Structure 1
Amino acid sequence: MTGRRDFLSQPAPENYVAGLGRGATGFTTRSDLGPAREGPSEDQIKEALAKRAAQLGFSDAVAGKKKDQAAEEDDNDERFQDPDNEVGLFAGGIYDKDDDEADRIYREIDEKMDKRRRARREAREQAEREEYERKNPKISQQFADLKRGLESITEDEWAALPETPALLRRA
């Protein structure tokens, strides 16, 4: 039995997690894994690209050109440009009489088109308004003929009309 108590002086088995049998869970820290290593150096990247180009049948010059073109395209890629930023788009140009005349012509055309659109829009809105009023008349328009009929009532007939509170008491 003395051999059974010797486990306290022995090292723990590999992958042993203390308390795992009682529901504890293990975790790994950076010190358990060792120091983090850096990624490949630039020289290693170039060697790998050259090796890959050789496997694919490209020469080193072609691979180098493609890399330069890719770097240049990244700099001028339109995806990264602000489409609303037009500041300085025509900077450095001289504004002369031709430009002034062109601006005036475009302004006149815009005004003429606005007038044309306004006339069409107002005519369409007026037609829509008349159609709506025809389909949905106001109450005063619905009873206009009855109002005209009240012109023929004499004063005696008018005086004989009962007051509203009198009608309410009867009901």
Structure 2
Amino acid sequence: MDKISKEDRFPQWLRSLLKINFFFNPCEIHDSFKKECNMYCLDCTGPALCYSCLADHKDHHVVQIRKSSYYDVVRICDVSKFIDVSDVQPYIVDGAKIVFLEERLKPRFKEEGVKYTCKTCRGKLPEPFRFCSLRCKRKGLKKDPDLTFVLRPKLSRDVSKDADCPK
């Protein structure tokens, strides 16, 4: 297999997405509509967008950021078309598989008997995955030269097989 350059292992849009810390704030452009910014355009890699902002991004790839237990999450079926999330612990929320953007500080399950931990933050995991979030996998790239977000033809552990995302 060809070696993947460091720049190609981590897409620019994901780098920008993980820098945004103001999802769910009111939209500055559509302030009068009291719109909340919970969308992100993978093509523009700009600030978070509200539903009204999407008119300017109609032919772009946009993902919706959601909340789960006060954490920002994204549906696997939304991002698995663009990045490999197979090493990240999935969770099921409202019938859809999701992954966390940031590391989780407090697990929702009893820690006794849990034997799996995130390779980056050491957070407890309920299943044998390497990372608890996209951020932790991103940090893991620094230590593992073979780790990548680039989609491979066939994943060894395909967590993207989720029901189709409702549009």
User: Shorter-chain TM-score: which interval?
Assistant: under 0.3
TM-score with structure 1 length normalisation? Answer: 0.14
Structure number with higher relative contact order (C-alpha < 8 Å, ≥ 6 residues apart): 2
Greater Rg over alpha carbons, structure: 1
TM norm structure 2 = 0.15
Q: Quick check: which one's strand share is greater? A: 2
